[in-house]
Amino acid sequence: MTHAHLTSIVLALVIFCAAYLLQRSGKNVKVLHMILRVMYVLVFITGGMLFFKMDLLYGLKLVLGLWFLGLFEMILIRDRKGGNTSGLWIQFVIVLIGLIYLGLKLPQGLFYF
């Protein structure tokens, strides 16, 4: 299940980057945004399946993961409306580092820490 979760996360991240870059260049990204939302569901389902192999840190990783998916949406929507996204990008990097750390530290990770 870990591989399915990691694959869905990577696909969501790639689709998010593509949607963001295309949106910045003035393209219509509604279809790509909807595909990204389907990927949210896959990330959520596979993450939920991993969550039930529970450790206290899995709860923290769940909260950070939901925050991370929320940041995807907030960055795309605020950028589309012409708002300032610098604070969201800072949160994005901090949460991403936290997620990577917890993903490698938890029992189903790769044991680098």
- Domain ranges across the chain: 2-105
* Distance (Å, whole) CA 89 – CA 92: 5
Q: How confident is the model at residue 77 (pLDDT cuts 50, 70, 90)?
A: very high
Report residue 35 as tokens. Answer: 């595909």
Residue 57 has pLDDT above 60, yes or no: yes
Q: Whole-angstrom Cα distance, residue 30 to residue 5?
A: 24
Percent helix, percent strand, percent coil in the chain, to nearest 5: 80, 0, 20
What is residue 14's predicted lDDT score, i.e. its pLDDT? 95
Give the C-alpha separation, 7 to 13, whole Å: 10
pLDDT at 104: 84
Q: Are 92 and 98 in contact (CB under 8 A)?
A: no
Predicted confidence band of residue 76 (pLDDT cuts 50, 70, 90): very high
| pLDDT of 38 over the 80 cut | yes
Nearest to 35 by CA among 50, 15, 51: 15
